[in-house]
Amino acid sequence: MDVQGVNTGIASYLNKNTVEQKPANSNSAATGAAAANTSAAGAANEKLEGVEFVKSEDTKKPVTYDKAATLEYIRQSEEARMQNFNNMITKMLVKQGETSNLTLNNMKLFVSEADAAKAAKAIAPGGEYSVDAVAGRILDMAKALSGGDPSKISLLKNAVKKGFKDAEEAWGGKMPSITDETYNKVMKGFDEWEASSKGVTSTQD
């Protein structure tokens, strides 16, 4: 037998097998990676097994309320706002009356000339406690309280009347004439507000 031929044949066979096995080795690596991924996914799934997913509480449940209690709350809130309005009017008018009295500068009140002059300036046109200033503040508060709703004018008028009456009681008798002028100015303002809400031009002086 030709030994050289045999060796050549063996070498040829080995080379052929080596070449043919390379793709196999490559496929084995890919297969291994895929198997590893599958194993990881399986492990993740195993972890999820037995985990209970709880649906969050529904926040859109219908809200129930007591209609009567709600209406009573609104009524009480409105009443409290009106009472505060009344209290502010009373304090403002009493202060206006006190300021007016300071202008008398007599021995009974023990008012200095400087204080009398200051008070006179405060109740004069443009002063802090003048008719226009106090009436304007009362009307501004009334409109703010109404939210711009002219249907509440009657209710607010009554609140103002009560405020003036309470101021007179707190005063202990008839208040200075400037308070009456302020009252008339406020009522005129209400009338003008009501007329403008109806599209009517007021002809009052």
Is the four-CA dihedral 162, 164, 165, 166 of positive or negative sign?
A: positive
Maximum mean pLDDT: which of 41-50, 71-80, 148-157:
148-157
Model pLDDT, residue 30: 45
pLDDT averaged over every residue in the chain: 75
Quote the DSSP letter at residue 175. P
- What span, in angstroms and rounded, lies between the C-alpha atoms of 11 and 9? 5
Model pLDDT, residue 20: 44
Q: What is the mean pLDDT of residues 48-59?
A: 52
Q: What is the mean pLDDT of residues 61-90?
A: 78
DSSP 27-91: HHHHHHHHHHHHHHHHHHHHHHTTPPPPPPPPS-PPP---HHHHHHHHHHHHHHHHHHHHHHHHH
Q: What is the mean pLDDT of residues 5-15?
A: 49
23, pLDDT greater than 50: no
